[in-house]
Amino acid sequence: MTPELPPARAYRGVSPEERRAQRRSKLIAAAIAVYGKRGYRQATVKAVCEEAGLTERYFYESFANSEDLLITSYRTVTYKVFGDIAAAGQSAGRARGERARAMLRAYFGALQRDPQSARVFLVEIRGVSRAVDQAFDASLQAIGDEIARHSAPGAADDELLRAGVIGGVMHIALRWIDQGYQPPLDSVVETALRLGMVLAAPAPRRKAG
């Protein structure tokens, strides 16, 4: 008969669940830093654990494998960027153009402030596996829905249009980052706004056959 293990005790007032959550957060932050410096494909579990100051056994306490950590890290970055975009849209006033400009400024500003997260958000997430691609597609749709809700409610039923515009904005961001964040923020925001206004344009009327 297997003896019952004693319940885990709090350490310095911190419960085992809280310690595990803290270790998980450290690993996510470490992964974003390592992926941002080396790239996902050149990163190892050992490198992430060393960055976090933890042993590998704690990695497998929270994550099934490196891909699981990549998806979690990506979702963490996405959640932060999404929150910045949503907050900017809500505080920008009622004019659709100004809301769209504010949301784009929040997006590009977030990428510029944290280049390591930007690399995870735009580069390292692509082409790893079907599961990773699905995580990317879900975030693309969520961001497109949020921007459309604030700046182009008429595009609510055109999912392909939203995906195309948001994908285009992301390609602008990739080129901008590759060019060392040039031109300046205001300029790239206005360039992306010109593309984003496609969402706000009324759909052309079809001629009667």
pLDDT in tens, 46-77: 999 999 999 999 999 999 999 999 999 999 98
Asked whether residue 206 is domain-assigned, the answer is no
Compute CA 116 distance to the chain's CA centroid, rounded to the nearest angstrom. Answer: 12
Question: Rounded to whole angstroms, how far apart are CA atoms 117 and 125?
Answer: 11
Asked whether residue 3 is domain-assigned, the answer is no
In terms of domains, do 38 and 125 share one? no
Domain of residue 37, residue span: 15-63
In terms of domains, do 166 and 86 share one? yes
In terms of domains, do 192 and 167 share one? yes
In terms of domains, do 139 and 110 share one? yes
pTM metric for this prediction: 0.79
Residues whose CB falls within 8 Å of the CB of residue 36, separated by 6 or more in sequence, listed in order: 115, 116, 117, 118, 119, 120
In terms of domains, do 43 and 142 share one? no
In terms of domains, do 26 and 110 share one? no
Q: Which long-range contacts (CB under 8 A, 24 or more apart) does 167-175 make?
A: 167/140, 168/195, 169/104, 169/107, 169/195, 169/196, 170/122, 170/140, 173/107, 173/108, 173/111, 173/118, 173/122, 174/122, 174/123
Number of domains observed in the structure of the chain: 2
In terms of domains, do 52 and 145 share one? no
In terms of domains, do 56 and 74 share one? no
In terms of domains, do 195 and 94 share one? yes
Question: Rounded to whole angstroms, how far apart are CA atoms 86 and 69?
Answer: 25
Mean pLDDT score of the chain: 83
Which CATH number belongs to the domain containing residue 129 in this structure?
A: 1.10.357.10
Which CATH number belongs to the domain containing residue 42 in this structure?
A: 1.10.10.60
In terms of domains, do 111 and 182 share one? yes
Of the chain, the percentage scoring pLDDT greater than 90 comes to: 39
Asked whether residue 31 is domain-assigned, the answer is yes
In terms of domains, do 51 and 70 share one? no
Residues whose CB falls within 8 Å of the CB of residue 103, separated by 6 or more in sequence, listed in order: 85, 88, 89, 92, 146, 147, 150, 151
Asked whether residue 209 is domain-assigned, the answer is no
At 5, is the pLDDT very low, low, confident or very high (cuts 50, 70, 90)?
A: very low
In terms of domains, do 31 and 115 share one? no
- For 125-184, what is each residue's pLDDT tens digit? 878 888 888 888 888 777 777 776 666 665 656 777 777 888 888 889 999 999 999 999
Return the pLDDT at 105: 93
